Amino acid sequence: MKPAGTDPQGLRLASPGAGILGLEASEEVRAIARFFCPQHLSVGQRVALPEQAAHHAGRVLRLKPGDALVLFNGEGGEFEARIDALRKGAVDVLVEKFHARERESALRIVLAQGVSTAEKMDFTLQKAVELGVEAIYPVLTEKGVVRLDEARAARRQVHWQAVVASACEQCGRNRVPRVAPVSALPRFLQELAREPTRLVLSPRAERSLRDLAAPAAGAIFLAGPAGGLSAREERQAIDAGFEAVRLGPRILRTETAAMAALAAAQALWGDF
């Protein structure tokens, strides 16, 4: 029997510095910290951790030379590594072993999310990554309270991509979902016109997810912001090939709706 707090291959998982299943980081059993290192990695290579990862490893976790960690670069698989040296503001590590591990869902899920306020959007993206989403499309909608010009939209995309990478560090994924550039809903609907199964979340819908057949090629979910999609936007989505589905008789908050839909999809068709 594998010890509690391991994945199916026996690797302990946790966010950098987090304990395992309630154990504090100061206890004898520690989680192995995972860091996203977006560069070429190979066994025997010495690399410097990215600036933010180096700060977390050296200043927050206070890792020392010889301490173990796990690196992944988003190209698949992960690397066992060990702290080689600590320099001012930098951490050098030695890559020791590669494991061709994947924790991706067999169910291809894409989330198109109406842009919401900062904390809600960050939370939604984090949980979407944990639930196996493959890509995220932030969309601007009529009822959304967030207004972004081109420069702010670009900065938000960079921030959200960092949120997604951090979520991968925490949940054990070795492939980092892509966050697409922010787009207005009509443009998004045109771009995704050829996607296979397209579902728009709507409290006005008559059908639920369990009424649908398992999608052969995955599914894309469209979720509105706080306040939801307007009736006109729902009609635009349906005209673009989306089918409206509901998540029970209750009105869900925007951050709850996406999370509930992805979890239900994994339970019905995926790896739950």
For 104-142, write each residue's pLDDT tens digit.
999 999 999 999 988 999 999 999 999 999 999 999 999
pTM: 0.84
- In CATH, the architecture of 109-269 is 3-Layer(aba) Sandwich (3.40)
- What is residue 77's predicted lDDT score, i.e. its pLDDT? 97
CATH class, range 1-101: mainly beta
- What is residue 195's predicted lDDT score, i.e. its pLDDT? 67
- Distance between CA atoms of residues 206 and 55, nearest Å: 50
Residues of the chain with CATH 3.40.1280.10: 109-269
The mean pLDDT of the chain is: 88
Task: With cut-offs at 50, 70 and 90, classify the pLDDT of residue 193.
Answer: low
**For residues 14 and 31, is the Cβ–Cβ distance under 8 A?**
yes
Residues of the chain with CATH 2.40.240.20: 1-101
pLDDT exceeds 90 at position 68: yes
User: Which one is predicted more confidently, 169 or 145?
Assistant: 169
